[in-house]
Structure formats: structure tokens, C-alpha cells
Structure 1
Amino acid sequence: MRKKLVMMLALLGLSFSNSNTYAADTVFPDVNPVTHSWAIEPLTFMNQKGVIRGDEHGRFNPDAPVTKAEFVVMVYKLFDQYRPNISNGSTNRIVDAPQNYWGHKYISEMVTSAWSGIYFTDKGVCFDPERKLTRIGMAKLLSNIYTPKEPTDQEIYDAVSKMKDIPVKVFTNPDEIESYQNDGRYGYLEGIDTTNTLYPLLFVKDSEGMHTNFDDYTFVTGSTLTSLQLDGLMTTYNGEFEAYDPLTRAEAVTILYRLYKHLENNGEIKAYSSK
């Protein structure tokens, strides 16, 4: 995404040689108006809404990796009407986000035991809040707050099969899927955070087309990837979703900004945010 925009600017002959433009056009001093042009509007919006801020020197560190905890904090602040544990009259005890952890309040009020991204150990529910997110990890966490359009199975197949880095397998016999049932896709690998793990999407083909109903993971993940693409929240580049690419802080802000605008355009934003 960033590479494409920089290339477009270069082709158009746009340049920013005046160093004063750097400070004037960006809300943070380390956000470059050329290399981060795609993120300036989202960063400005999120800063004005009090969702993000700079460090003691005013810097945002846009190219630094974003963690799961940072993602939750941004969601918490942007979507202040969507705090599922509070609405249920409770908070969730995440054992690796205790009361002395900086993100405890946000995680305990936001992350439920049904979230994609949690896992179980003999000590209790864990979230691994300091884990750095990849793009597939971001997509899976987004599925906790973003409701896809529920595309048809054929639409899911048509979309994900065009993403060159998404593993897709097609079977004619549903029984062949059984060998994948214990690979961890349903969270059976106790003590392992699979947020950034992408399992093969399994389709069964018959005379009526493609089907996902033999594997819930395929339906949920496939629906999310398809809808994120169709809604323009997370798109492909050169035919790849770039699933395992690290996600930067600027990219995370941009995706959440797009989600905000998507909800706003659909008339749903009041259920999520008062901002």
C-alpha cells in the first residue's frame, strides 16, 4: 500500500523539497508527507479525536510495529460506545494483563473470552498483549468488532483464491477435511497464541459450487478477508493480502479510520462511537 502510493507520487512528479512543508503538513514531526501521505488524514483525524498522541517529543513512530494491546487501546478510545464487558456489567480477567499492566483497563473492559486472539492456559485466559501484529493478525482481531456482509461461499472462494498468499484447498469429499480439524484452527493448541497464524481455507466443491459449511474457520476467516477487501478496509497489493507482513502503527490507524468511515457511511457509527 505504502509502496504503491509513493510510486504514484513519483510518477506524478510531486516533490516536497521545502523542509518547512514537512512540519506544516503533518500532525507529528516524524510523519513524512511523502512516504506517509496515505496515512496523514487518518492520523490527523485520530489525533483530533484523542485516540492517538505523540510521545514526549511529539513523535508517533509511524513505522514501528503495533502490538495487540495498542490495537485494543485504539479501538477502546475510538469506539467508546463499544465496550462489551462493561455493557455486560463485568470485566474480563486476562491473566497476562494484570492490574499493574499499563493496558489492563482497556483490555479487561474490551476483550471477551469469545474474542479471536485470546487463548487458554492452565493459569486462565491469556491475550499476549505485547505480541506484534501481522496483517492477518489485524484482520482476525478486526473480526471481533467488524461484522462482515456475510458473502456467499462462492463469493468467498472467488475473493480468497485470487489472494496469492492465502492458502486455499478444494476437496470433493468432505471427509478429506477431517485431517485438518486438529491443526489448531479451533484453538485446541493450549497455551499458544495463534493470532498471527493463518490456516488453510478449506472448500468442498460439488455441482452447486463451493461450500464452507464443513469448516467454520474457513467461513469466519474467509468472510472477514472477503468483506475487508470489498469494503476497502484492508486490500491486496500485487494480488497478495500480505498476510504475514508486520503491521505498522500508521497502518493500524489507517485501517481503524477506514472502519470508522465505513460505519459512518452505513449509518451505524452511533452504536460504536460518540466521536
Structure 2
Amino acid sequence: MKNKTRRIKGVWLMWLVMIGLALPALPARADAEFSDVDPQKNSWAVGSIYLMAQKQVLTGYPDGTFRPNQTISKAEWTAMIYRLFDKYRPNLYATGLQKIDGFADVSPEHWAYKPISEIYSHSFNWGVYGLSNMGQLTFRPDMQLTRLQLADMLYSFFDTRLIDRRMSPNDICSVVSDFKDIPYTMYGNKNQYEDAAKTDGRYDAAGSAATLAGEVLPVLFLGTGKSDCSFGTDAFSNAQASSLASLQASGIMTANELGYFRPLDKVTRAEAVTILNRIYNYLSKNYWLGDYTTIQLDQTGAGSSGGSAGSGGGGSGSSGVYNPDTSSYYPDWQDTGGDISGSWSNDSIVNVTDYFDDKGVLTKNLQNGEIEAAVLPKENRYLTVDLQSQDKVDLYLILDGKIAFLKQEELPKTIELDGIKLVGFRTLQRNPNPMRVGGTTATLTVKLSVDKPDTSKPGKKK
């Protein structure tokens, strides 16, 4: 009798766990807490976790845990997209050749059948489909997604709006070649390029790239180097490179500070909700959000374990700067000796759409958008920054997420980079002049150094 009771309890617990994954959960309390979400270890994701839990996008388990380090499957990712972007149903409204009638491995009884069958049409080019031994279209819903597989899938999501069309093939090549763990090959000869694309086994019998096998296929480029690089005829290389570079530039999925994208690492639940939140904010920032969802995320209502909603990154209730693009908090600015003044801003995500030359100079006509750039200090301890422009242009300076606002009159400025791994820049036109023909031009100059530069003027006593 005892053994029978144990079996019944075991079955019941198993079903509880499955319910936490497969079904929409009960309404979450605004102050819901998860026992295994550490406000310190999970600080980069804690805001997104509570925000998405409140909206039932990805919920916790009956035992009060969220399991942030547990990996997600393609089906789980699809269900999350389906819940958050409730107007996004490409296959439901597809017709003709764009319509997919079904997948051999996703029956109507599958818990994620509805999200999978209503989202994925033939407009999804990479990372979604495969073929069975019988030549049938397969989805592999239970496959645990790697970061590269998700990046490939994101190329086609939201009408390819996650791909930055402002980046040239040369820009994309430059970004991708900086990843330490994304292989690429550059061919100066077009025939060699095309031979490589045909003979390395990257395409299956259906003409789809082999992205579901857990491989990291090399990206193929035409050219002789980073300054002379373009796309060739291999559609998969072009798409994967465009996706990786765009996700890096937008901050949706990025390499770490050492340049590693970790392509074969599995996507965790914490990563998934953070990526979703960044996508949501990216679409909102570009005024596309209304095309895909009716759901309003209250970014300031994202709770934190052990503290009240909106109280900061930890459970202590300490103040901080809220970053709406990542739904997380950064601690207050700690002066590093750079004598930075100015007010705080909430736009503390680093985008990279513009690039410094080898002398640390970047000139741009701001009619085409503000300057958005970044540098990696590496072993350097000091940064000197200056900004010259026709009209008044101010500068946001972002140091590992902590942000300060510098008026142009405060520049040039030398800042100490004690332990800083990433410095971002974003200009802000003070009073844009609509009457100026051709816009205004700004020149941003940066100089990194190991030793503190002498900022005294000639003839001035130290």
C-alpha cells in the first residue's frame, strides 16, 4: 500500500511539473517571488523574470521555483512568443505556398500544437524545419535550443524587422569577425567561395541549412579582409551573419566582454525571458510593437526577489537606474575619479551602429540618426572623450550599464576606467535645427591610455 501511495504521489508531482511548462498558469500576484531567483546572481535577468511571470509568458513551478538555469525547448520558446505577442500569427493568416499544413512530429495532441501551427509559415527560412527519414517536414519541438539556433530563428521573426538594414555587408563582416567562437572564412575568389558553399554539407535534401544538428557552420564571405568584405551567393551565410551582427548591435543577444557568443550553449529560462523583453522593447522603440501585440508591459512594475516592485536590483531596496531595454536595474553611479557630472538617464543599453576609425575618430551627419558607438578599454585605465559639432550636441556615456549625461560644454573629459569592461556612447541633439539644410555633423573622438594623461594647458600652473 505504501509503495502504491508513493507511485501515486510521484505521478502527481510529475504532472504538476508538466503543467508548469505546458499550460497557461494561474494569474500571478504582482509581488510573486521565486525561491531560487537570487537578486545578486540573477541581477541581469531578475526584472525580466518577474515581468514575464506577471504576464504569464513564462511562469514558475508549483514548488515556488522559477529554475532560471533550466534550458528551454523550441516548443517552449514558441509558446512564450505566442503569449507575449498575441497578434503575431504568420501561419494562421498565411495562404498559398506560404502556408504550412503541419509537422510530422507535432500532433494535434501536443501541448504546443496551437502556437507552433499558428506561428511558423514558410516565411521562416532558417533554424526551424528539418526532414524525417520519410522526407516529411519536422519541427523537433523538444529540441533544447542553443544560442546560435535561436539567433538563426530570430532572422525570420517579426517580418525580419530584427535585422538592421542600415548595416552594410562590410559592417556585418566586421562585427562577425570579432566573435571569438563564430568561425568564418573569407574567399578572394568567387569560384572558391561557391565551391565551399556546395561541398561542406551545410544544406540538407530540402535545401535547408543544417542548423538543427548542433553544429557551428562557418560563415562565408567574399573579400580580402575586414575593410574589404562583402556577401556572396550563400543565403545561409548572409542570413546568419546579418542576424548575429544585428542582435549584437541592438543588444538583444550579444557576445560577452571577451568576444565569446557561446553559440552551442543552451538557452536558459532566464536568458529566454530577458531576450523576449529586449525584443519587446526593440519593437516598441521602432514603433512596430502595435503590429504584434496588445499586451502592455509595465516595466516599472517588474518585481525583485526580497524587495518591492521597482525597488532596485537586489532585495535591499537600494536605489538604482532602471534599464527598460533589459528590464533590470544598475546600482547608483560610483564616482571613479573622473569628475563626471550631469543627470541620469534610463536609456542605458549600448547599441553599436557607428564605428571609430583607427585613430579613434567618428564623424556622422546626425540627420541619419544619433551616434551610437562603443569601445572596449581592455588594459587601458583612462578614457578621454571629446565631441565637436555644428549645433549643440550632448553625450550619454555608459560604463558597464551605469550612465551619465555630459553637456558639450563639459567636454573634453578624462574618465578613469577602474574595472570598466565596456564604454558606450550615444549623442543627443540639444535643439535640433529643422531649418539646417542637410542636418548637422558631429565628430566624436576617443583616446584610451594606460597612464593618466596630462590635461593641464600650456602655461598653466599645475
Tell me how far 1:180 sits from its aligned partner. 2.8
Does structure 2 retain, via aligned residues, the 8 Å contact 1:65–1:247?
yes
Q: Which residue pairs with 1:261 in the alignment?
A: 281
Partner Cα separation in structure 2 for residue 103 and residue 26 of structure 1: 26
Does structure 2 retain, via aligned residues, the 8 Å contact 1:95–1:123?
no
Amino acid at match of 2:288: E
Does structure 1 retain, via aligned residues, the 8 Å contact 2:72–2:144?
yes
Amino acid at match of 2:171: E
Change over 3 Å in CA distance of 1:96–1:113 after alignment to 2: farther
Does structure 1 retain, via aligned residues, the 8 Å contact 2:177–2:184?
yes
Q: Which residue pairs with 1:103 in the alignment?
A: 112
- The 10-residue stretch of structure 1 (68-77 or 135-144) with the greater mean CA deviation from structure 2: 135-144
Q: Does 1:252 align with 2:272?
A: yes
Q: Which residue pairs with 2:291 in the alignment?
A: 271
Write 1 or 2 for the structure with the bigger share of strand: 2
Query: Of 231, 242, 247, which residue of structure 2 is paired with 1:212?
Result: 231
Q: Which residue pairs with 1:35 in the alignment?
A: 41
Partner Cα separation in structure 1 for residue 210 and residue 74 of structure 2: 11
What are structure 2's unaligned runs of at least 5 residues? 1-29, 296-462
Q: Which residue pairs with 2:261 in the alignment?
A: 241
Deviations 1:53-95 (A, max 9, x none): 1122232211011111111000111111111111226663011
Amino acid at match of 1:200: P
Change over 3 Å in CA distance of 1:131–1:77 after alignment to 2: same
- The 10-residue stretch of structure 1 (147-156 or 112-121) with the greater mean CA deviation from structure 2: 112-121
TM-score normalised per structure 1: 0.84
Q: Does 1:158 align with 2:174?
A: yes
SS of 2:229's partner is strand
Partner Cα separation in structure 2 for residue 192 and residue 155 of structure 1: 24
Q: Does 1:149 align with 2:164?
A: yes
TM-score normalised per structure 2: 0.51
- The 10-residue stretch of structure 1 (120-129 or 187-196) with the greater mean CA deviation from structure 2: 187-196
Q: Which residue pairs with 1:82 in the alignment?
A: 88
Does structure 2 retain, via aligned residues, the 8 Å contact 1:157–1:210?
yes
Q: Which residue pairs with 1:11 in the alignment?
A: none
Query: Of 39, 63, 70, which residue of structure 2 is paired with 1:64?
Result: 70
- The 10-residue stretch of structure 1 (158-167 or 135-144) with the greater mean CA deviation from structure 2: 135-144
Partner Cα separation in structure 2 for residue 64 and residue 189 of structure 1: 32
Q: Which residue pairs with 1:13 in the alignment?
A: none
Tell me how far 1:271 sits from its aligned partner. 0.6
SS of 1:197's partner is coil
What are structure 1's unaligned runs of at least 5 residues? 1-23
- The 10-residue stretch of structure 1 (172-181 or 261-270) with the greater mean CA deviation from structure 2: 172-181
Write 1 or 2 for the structure with the bigger share of helix: 1
Partner Cα separation in structure 1 for residue 208 and residue 286 of structure 2: 39
Does structure 1 retain, via aligned residues, the 8 Å contact 2:85–2:293?
yes
Instruction: Report which of the two structures shows the higher radius of gyration computed on alpha carbons.
Output: 2
Q: Does 1:199 align with 2:205?
A: no
Tell me how far 1:139 sits from its aligned partner. 0.5
Change over 3 Å in CA distance of 1:45–1:199 after alignment to 2: same
Partner Cα separation in structure 1 for residue 236 and residue 229 of structure 2: 15
Amino acid at match of 1:129: P
Amino acid at match of 1:168: Y
Give the percent of matched residue pairs that are identical in Structure 1 and Structure 2.
33
Q: Which residue pairs with 1:118 in the alignment?
A: 129
Cα RMSD after superposing both structures: 2.4
Tell me how far 1:184 sits from its aligned partner. 4.0
Q: Which residue pairs with 1:17 in the alignment?
A: none
Partner Cα separation in structure 2 for residue 137 and residue 191 of structure 1: 13
Deviations 1:156-199 (A, max 9, x none): 11000000111111111011121332434344378996234321
Amino acid at match of 1:167: P
Amino acid at match of 2:84: L
Partner Cα separation in structure 2 for residue 197 and residue 273 of structure 1: 33
SS of 1:170's partner is strand
Report how many residues are paired: 252
Amino acid at match of 1:72: T
SS of 1:88's partner is coil
Tell me how far 1:119 sits from its aligned partner. 1.1
Relative contact order, higher structure (CA 8 A, sep 6+): 1
Partner Cα separation in structure 2 for residue 191 and residue 87 of structure 1: 23
Does structure 2 retain, via aligned residues, the 8 Å contact 1:120–1:190?
no
SS of 1:99's partner is coil
Does structure 2 retain, via aligned residues, the 8 Å contact 1:92–1:109?
no
